[in-house]
Amino acid sequence: MVDRANKPKHIPVSPSTPSPQAIISNGNDRVTATLPSGEFVEVLLHGATIVSWKSANGNENLFVSSKAHLDGSKAVRGGIPIVFPVFGPPPRNHATSGLPQHGLARTSHWEYLGKTSSESSTLPTSGGDSSVKLDFGLSWQMIEEEDLREHWREDFGLTYSVTLSTEGLETSLQVTNVGKRTWEFQVLLHTYLRINDISNGVIIQGLEATPFTDKVAYAAEQEATKHQWKPHKQFPDPPERTEPSMDVLTINFETDRIYHIAHDGPIRVLEKESPRFEIVRDMLGDVVVWNPWEKKAAGMSDMGEGEWRNFVCVEAGSVSSWTKLESGETWEAGQRIRAFL
């Protein structure tokens, strides 16, 4: 046998790497998932509402009120509730007019469909699986409240996917018309982003030069003119869109705006001029920015004292118009959020 000087050495076999864990807990009312690197997400089956998303260092990125109802008795104040099939109070004489505000998805019991995980690298030092996707489903037949089923008798199927990765959190919603007739809907991901103190200066970038509807200004105008004579109208005029501004949005007062965005660029949230979050949207042309501020928050029974300081809602959605879905069609959209703490 010839003894070669440069014969190959034994190839080391790397130990098996840990995989993402998904657990159904607390009486089968929620699903949690953890990555080997430490990222964590928790989703209630009530509303398929994400109530916790933690970075690898343990920092919580979502706000949930200390008085939020997590027992399924009402919609959760915080996290990421799903708004469907109507945004806000339903309009009169519309197919959704009998539904509660923000529709039925956020107060219904969803089914956990399972998890899948993916691996970004096969290198021994990669840490193994880098993401985990949790899927949840809801259909018209699953709506437990008969009153809701009667008020919106459209045969729909929803699949909600929550993907936790080392890069952030991704949520996507697939809407399918499994019935025989066309219907229309609105959708919004009502994201409560956790911040330290909104009064210290929170800036939203990426909304410049974008027309918006200012619901706070509209409400103040309606209040100021409520005793003035007006021509009789069956329905009040909707709020008008405000001319876009080139300035970034600084949250230092009650804010409730709907931005109608033509571009698909990222939305950034800064606290004390430092990046805190970045949101990238897919097929969601509207962004709602909301904080009730002190006076209005004091009248919310499910908001703890002073907690209005600890969040800003930056909500990707499709709410400025209605999306029509014909029989057999499927519509899908979503968002990806990165946290910088």
Q: Annotated catalytic residue: which of 39, 42, 190, 307?
A: 190
Cβ neighbours for 136, distance < 8 A, ≥ 6 positions apart = 43, 45, 48, 110, 111, 112, 113, 159, 160, 161, 162
Q: What is the pLDDT of residue 222?
A: 59
What is d(CA 20, CA 37) in angstroms, rounded to the nearest whole number? Answer: 9
Name the token pair of 333. 């959209």
Cβ neighbours for 39, distance < 8 A, ≥ 6 positions apart = 54, 55, 56, 164, 165, 166
Q: What is the pLDDT of residue 326?
A: 98
The position carrying tokens 């076999």 is 13
Q: Contact, 277 vs 340, CB < 8 A?
A: yes
Q: What is the pLDDT of residue 1?
A: 44
H helix count then E strand count, the chain: 3, 21
Q: Quick one: three-class SS letters along 52-83?
A: EEECCCCCECECECCCCCCCCCCCCCECECEE
Going residue by residue through the chain, which has 341 residues, state the pLDDT in tens, using 9 for 90 and above: 444 444 444 444 444 567 888 888 767 899 999 999 999 999 999 999 999 999 999 999 999 999 999 999 999 999 999 999 999 999 999 999 999 999 999 999 999 999 998 754 333 333 445 899 999 999 999 998 888 899 999 999 999 999 999 999 999 999 999 999 999 999 999 999 999 999 888 999 999 989 999 999 866 665 555 555 555 544 455 566 676 777 899 999 999 999 998 677 999 999 999 999 999 999 999 999 999 999 999 999 999 999 999 999 999 999 999 999 999 999 999 999 999 98
Please report which helix (H) or strand (E) contains residue 159, including its range.
strand 156-165
What is the four-CA torsion angle of 103, 316, 41, 50, rounded to 10 degrees? -10
Give the bridge partners for 46, in sequence order.
109
Q: Contact, 335 vs 171, CB < 8 A?
A: yes
Does residue 102 have an active-site annotation? no
Does residue 151 have an active-site annotation? no
Q: Mapping DSSP to helix (H, G, I), strand (E, B) and coil, where does residue 234 land?
A: coil
Q: What is the pLDDT of residue 129?
A: 54
Task: Tell whether the torsion through CA atoms of 101, 103, 108 and 113 is positive or negative.
Answer: negative
Burial of 209 (0-12, 13-18, 19+ CB in 10 A): exposed
